[in-house]
């Protein structure tokens, strides 16, 4: 149950990590297209940059989260092993 709650808690964070760079780059691309009078050249370029930035941010977040979970699992395993050795609960 605790794991399910954790996953639901990080969902808004994941959505923000993915949407913010993409939407920001769309706005910048649209602004530059209107500024220079081009059709959608800058918009397309900045959409690709935004998607790349979103995937990079998502990768960094997942690596950090996995490292944190691994550290927590090792800590919990040590506690369990000590309880098993000492016979305490």
For 24-37, the pLDDT digits (tens) are 999 999 999 999 99
Residue with tokens 């794991």: 3
Question: What are the pLDDT digits (tens) for 42-69?
Answer: 999 999 999 999 999 999 999 999 999 8
Q: Which helix (H) or strand (E) segment is 37 a member of?
A: none
Tokens representing 35? 């500024």
The answer to pTM > 0.85 is no
Distance between CA atoms of residues 87 and 5, nearest Å: 31
The contacts found for 74-78 with CB under 8 angstroms, 24 or more apart, are: none
Domain that holds residue 20: 2-86
Structural domain count, the chain: 1
């Amino acid at each position: 149950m605790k794991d399910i709650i954790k996953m639901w808690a990080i969902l808004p964070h994941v959505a923000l990590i993915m949407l913010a760079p993409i939407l920001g780059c769309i706005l910048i691309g649209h602004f530059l297209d209107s500024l220079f009078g081009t059709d959608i050249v800058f918009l397309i370029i900045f959409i690709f940059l935004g998607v790349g930035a979103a995937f990079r941010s998502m990768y960094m977040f997942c690596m950090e989260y996995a490292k944190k979970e691994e550290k927590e699992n090792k800590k919990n395993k040590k506690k369990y092993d000590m309880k098993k050795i000492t016979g305490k609960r």
